[in-house]
Amino acid sequence: MRRSLYDGLQNKIRKLKTPVIETWKNQYPDRDYEIKIDIPEFTCICPKTGLPDFAAIVIRYIPDRSCIELKSLKYYTIFYRDIGIFNEHVINRMLDDLANACRPRWMEIVGEFNARGGIKTTVRAEYGNRSSV
């Protein structure tokens, strides 16, 4: 079996050091409103083949006291270009990092990964309970 440069990394995903995601103060914490962020050109590396994976990622959240600063989010997503990570792991890791940064009332991240070998993968992860918002 061919070894990959990324062997073993999947066991360390939760400990992976990523760029800081900055936030700014929400001036309307008394109101529920949804923020939607589209990232149409996300890339990471397939940990099995070493080839690039391409995805469109949509982040939706209802902020509480802070909102995600977009420039830092851009640098955060660029970081993954050189990381060998499974599709499922990248979406869940992003959810952990973004939710920890801004502590939203609710957040959902959906990654639609381009078809490879005739198989398209969509991964959806959620923080909080939208029905309780």
Annotated catalytic residues are 46, 53
Q: Which residue has the tokens 């309780």?
A: 132
* Those residues with Cβ within 8 angstroms of residue 2's Cβ, 6 or more apart along the chain or in another chain: none
**Inter-residue contact 122 to 62 (CB < 8 Å):** no
**Inter-residue contact 27 to 106 (CB < 8 Å):** no
